[in-house]
Amino acid sequence: MTPLDYEFLRKLLKERSGLDLSSDKQYLVESRLIPLARRGGLQGITELVQKIRSGAEALTSEVVEAMTTNETFFFRDKIPFDHLRQTVLPELVQARASRRSLRIWCAASSTGQEPYSIAMCIKEFAGLAGWRIEIVATDLSQEVLEKSRSGIYSQFEVQRGLPIQSLVKYFTQTGELWQLNADIRAMVQHRQLNLLQDFSHLGAFDLIFCRNVLIYFDQDTKLGVFDRLAKVLEPDGVLALGAAESVVGISDTFKPYPERRGLYRPNPARTARSGIAAMTPALRAAAAAAAS
């Protein structure tokens, strides 16, 4: 792979997925794209780049998918799911008692272990019997969404993070594979989505899991994602980020949830300022006059 090939791929991946590769990640690109090139009958990455430059859109999508498929496993990092059971769900059940419904978004959901972990927590939470629960799982990659829809996992995948009692309770074994039971699979809707684009069409959510994806974005891209997340999260909703992620020092759209690391709430002060900024000059003047 020539330096020009690498720069072309860096720019392409940044534009299409937000993935911000440093200058020393050639080995990562080669390890993921050389097998893709060979499957397509191409000699190597230089030929792959030439084909992309000629307008091969399907190949471009395959390249983006190959570079953005990230690791996941059931109940990853454990603490966010403890927070979900012990703090987030009890508070949301109380706050939504009149409407008896919850909407949860799992962004960058990969092969489904995270949204299904959330679904299992919901299933076991006593206060939600009879409620309408909607879990939306999104990812840039259609391939991983298809695997997630199937709910079929290898022995290795179910051994990573999944308690044995949950395996027995929620999965059916078929040969060397395990499939999630239909009732858990039915709790999760799947949609292809690029976090770099507008996602207001998804509607409003009470809880958003957006974990272990923002670490691959640069600061400006993170800021844009945070601003868009704030617009689809209810004012008293909760945002869960990954262990290595934070809004602190990047955006004031959210504030840390007290004593619950990795959880954030919308910042009312920022919301109020955004509302004022969106007003026409006449409306701002009227609001200022009313306040005085």
- 123 with 246, same domain: the answer is yes
| 159 and 225 inside one domain | yes
Number of Cβ within 10 Å of residue 199's Cβ equals 19
Please give the positions annotated as active site: 32, 139
Identify how many contiguous H helices and E strands the chain contains and give both numbers.
14, 10
* Same domain for 27 and 117: no
Residue 292 lies inside a defined structural domain of this protein = no
The residue segments making up the domain with residue 169 are: 79-272
DSSP 195: T
pTM of the model: 0.82
Same domain, 28 and 113: no
- 30-58 average pLDDT score: 88
pLDDT for position 31: 87
Domain count, the chain: 2
64 Rama class: left (phi>0) / alpha (psi -120 to 50) / beta: alpha
Inside any domain, residue 289: no
Average pLDDT for residues 223-244, to the nearest whole number? 95
CA distance 131 to 23: 49
- Decide if pLDDT at 43 tops 90: no
182, 119: one domain: yes
3-17 and 57-68 helices, crossing angle to 10°: 80
Interacting residues of 177 by C-beta distance below 8 A, sequence separation 6+: 152, 153, 154, 155
- Whole-angstrom CA distances from 182 to 5, 96, 187, 188, 277 are 45, 27, 9, 10, 47
Query: pLDDT confidence of 270, banded at 50, 70, 90?
Result: low
Predicted confidence band of residue 69 (pLDDT cuts 50, 70, 90): low
Q: Is 278 a member of any domain?
A: no
pLDDT at residue number 287 = 41
Q: How far apart are CA 101 and CA 133, in angstroms?
A: 6
pLDDT in tens, 175-199: 999 999 999 999 999 999 999 999 9
Q: What is the CATH number of the domain that holds 182?
A: 3.40.50.150
For residues 105 and 207, membership in a common domain is answered with yes
pLDDT given at position 185: 97
